[in-house]
A and B are shown apart, each in its own frame.
Chain A
Amino acid sequence: MLVIKDLHARVDGKEILRGVNLTVKPGEVHAIMGPNAAGKSTLAKVLAGREEYEVTQGSVTLDGKSLLELAPEERAREGVFMSFQYPVEIPGVTNAYFMRSAVNAHRKHRGEPELDAGAFLKLARENMKLVAMDEKMLNRAVNEGFSGGERKRNEIFQMAMLAPKLAVLDETDSGLDIDALRIVASGVNALRSPDRALIVITHYQRLLDYLVPDITHVLLGGRIVKTAGKELALELEKRGYEWLQQGAQA
């Protein structure tokens, strides 16, 4: 489904991604771990199309279609979803208006009629249940004054609404309390399907107890330096990243 080949990206004249290779098949869950500043969020944003990151080399395809030439909104409508590590506040724009605009942009792209207010509300209510989100959040400005945990639930709610092919979840677990982690993870699990792939960026094993990865990668110094099964996360928890640094510099 997703094929990343030798991806290099820079920002502010600094090279952050230095040759990432990654292949994700439909239905798979991939975990990406790695120390702070390794480039994990950068990879997520490059996939989503954030323009300030300049791709200098390599390719990214989704079902054979190159993503790099596409605008962020086009990628989203092709089925790429990124859950932000730090979702922004958008004062004055309600969650409902935002999501209805987004859902209808996707529907328009697929040649489907737009959802009216009633149909939208029905769909939104169903999906809010998935992450146990209070319905009142729909009428609040996007993320404005939301707690860290509420923001993360809101991200997964959006994922549910947009039903992407590929979801990249950037530290969806950070900021969640223990119960919320379980709720959000089970929400994500409910969204798993044979034709949907997940890339889960996290620092902690705990999330992976719920969202069991098929494959675990370590991103370090802008490259994937180690790829293994789900047991890798446990090993990293014990040993840290130092033992991998050598390989990264080589």
Chain B
Amino acid sequence: MNAVAHYTSAFAGSENGLPGSAVPWLVDKRRAAMAALASTGFPTTRDEAWRYTDVAQLLTVPFSPATSLATARAASLAESGGLTDAYRLVFVDGVYIAEASRLAGLPDGVVVTNLASALGSHSDRVRMAFGKLVDASRHGFAALNTAMASDGAFIAVPRGVRVEKPIEILSIASNQVQPVSTNLRNLVRVEANAEATVVEHYLGDGNAVSLTNSVTEASLAESACLAHVKIQREGQSAFHVATIACEQARNSRFYSCSAAAGGALARTEISSALLGEGADAQLFGAYVARGRQLVDHTTFLDHAVPQCTSNELYKGVLGDMSRGVFNGKVLVRKDAQKTAAFQSNRNVLLSDSAVVDTRPQLEIYADDVKCSHGATIGRLDDEALFYLRARGIERAAAQRILTQAFAGEVVHSIAHPAIRALVAGVVDDALNRALAGGVS
């Protein structure tokens, strides 16, 4: 059975059990998404945006939603792996685990809940947000998520409120025998002058074959500020596709950092539409791969109005036979004068067999803009390595110091100390494992 047929029948079988099965607009939306998937299918390497990321293998696996859950284990994993001082929503294989979640003490008016509950308690707001920024037409995975979303986070920060503690969305792929798929749909709304930090944290409990296919839609009102950190450290056999889309009103600030360390194939798509003057988007990413891992970051910044700024820095360290992919597109529309947009993708290859495909693209239709982009692919600096060793530092330690320093530029961009420390740990672990494969 091909993938589309498989998911069509999986959808038919599980539709009635999905949240909102009695909510007509959502039922319609899910069915339309399934129809879109049936007609367009999943992306292939013939699609520009997927040229270097072949999902054919992923599509041969008959993933289906989990049927049984180890919830007690989830609670302990959340405690050991998650942030200590954060609000938290925990999902295991796409199912919300209230017992492991932690929502006490939220500031007045701030809503942090799971999507299934929000469909009841905040139905209008969910309806407005769901599918506004990512719809089924984007690609097969977005369509699949729309049809099959089992739950997700619903976060709303009211005007002028600053949420000090991070809000963590912890998704755990448990070690199931059957290949399990997780389709989380996260909706974030930050009102005018409000501020929040959201962490999407993907953990794997073991090395089972799994598929995480998440979609996050974030909407920032005037002068709102959202820091979004994604940590992806699922097991070596996990497939991971994440689509994060943001829209920004006047003077809003969107900071995004993606740390990718796990998975057999992990793609993170991040986009923001800068719709109000003075909006600023800062996108950072650090990825580390080894073995036959493929890590893809695909970004799109849409400068639609004048005087917006954006900056991107993605850095990768690739060992063994791994592959890194970066597609970064910046569109500066005709009216978007005085745009300043900078983009950089830098890669260090640890082995002769590692590969990077990087494609920075600037598409500029305005004439008074400052834009630049660049990409580098290199080796660890021999001179620097020798300098460290000449002072008595072991070769492997010197390699670690240099790669940590390289990725550190991205890690240090994270403002929140506890999140920064967590990401630093994830990146350092991944670097150690990648370096253990040897440097050639």
A residues apposed to B, CB below 8 Å: 48-52, 71-73, 75-77, 81-82, 84, 87-93, 97-99, 101-102, 105-106, 109, 141-142, 158, 162
Q: Is the CB of A90 within 8 A of B392?
A: no
Q: Which of B67-75, B140-148, B253-261, B398-406 contacts A (4 or more CB under 8 A)?
A: B398-406
Q: Is the CB of B390 within 8 A of A98?
A: no
Q: Is the CB of B388 within 8 A of A90?
A: yes
Q: Is the CB of A72 within 8 A of B390?
A: yes
Q: Is the CB of A73 within 8 A of B394?
A: yes
Residues of B within 8 A of A87 (CB): 387
Q: Is the CB of B405 within 8 A of A71?
A: no
In the assembled complex, the Cα of A76 lies from the Cα of B391 at a distance in Å of 6
Whether B381 is near chain A, meaning CB under 8 Å from some CB there, is yes
Classify the interface of chain B: helix, strand, loop or mixed.
Answer: helix
Q: Is the CB of B387 within 8 A of A92?
A: no
Q: Is the CB of B405 within 8 A of A50?
A: no
Q: Is the CB of B408 within 8 A of A105?
A: no
Whether B409 is near chain A, meaning CB under 8 Å from some CB there, is yes
Q: Smallest Cβ distance from B429 to chain A, in angstroms?
A: 18
Q: Is the CB of B388 within 8 A of A98?
A: yes
B residues apposed to A, CB below 8 Å: 381-384, 386-395, 397-398, 401-402, 404-406, 408-409
Given A91-B405, A92-B405, A101-B397, A71 and B387 contact (CB-CB distance below 8 Å): no
Closest B residue to A164 using CB positions: B392
Residues of B within 8 A of A82 (CB): 390
In the assembled complex, the Cα of A52 lies from the Cα of B386 at a distance in Å of 10
Q: Is the CB of B408 within 8 A of A92?
A: yes
In the assembled complex, the Cα of A50 lies from the Cα of B384 at a distance in Å of 12
Residues of A within 8 A of B389 (CB): 49, 71-73, 76
Residues of B within 8 A of A77 (CB): 392
In the assembled complex, the Cα of A82 lies from the Cα of B402 at a distance in Å of 20
Residues of B within 8 A of A52 (CB): 382
Q: Is the CB of B405 within 8 A of A93?
A: yes
Contact of B393 among A81, A88, A92, A102 (CB under 8 A): A102
Which 9 pairs of residues, A with B, have the shortest CB-CB distance? A92-B405, A76-B392, A102-B391, A72-B389, A105-B392, A73-B389, A93-B405, A88-B383, A77-B392
In the assembled complex, the Cα of A158 lies from the Cα of B401 at a distance in Å of 18
Q: Is the CB of A90 within 8 A of B391?
A: no
Q: Smallest Cβ distance from A44 to chain B, in angstroms?
A: 10
Given A88-B384, A90-B384, A76 and B390 contact (CB-CB distance below 8 Å): yes
In the assembled complex, the Cα of A158 lies from the Cα of B388 at a distance in Å of 11
In the assembled complex, the Cα of A75 lies from the Cα of B393 at a distance in Å of 11
Residues of A within 8 A of B388 (CB): 90, 98, 101-102
Give 13 CB contacts A-B under 8 Å.
A51-B386, A71-B395, A73-B391, A76-B390, A76-B391, A76-B392, A84-B387, A90-B384, A91-B405, A92-B406, A99-B391, A109-B392, A158-B391
In the assembled complex, the Cα of A239 lies from the Cα of B387 at a distance in Å of 36
In the assembled complex, the Cα of A49 lies from the Cα of B393 at a distance in Å of 13
Residues of A within 8 A of B387 (CB): 84, 87-88, 90, 142
Of B383, B388, B390, most A-chain CB atoms within 10 Å:
B390
Q: Is the CB of A162 within 8 A of B384?
A: no
Closest A residue to B407 using CB positions: A92
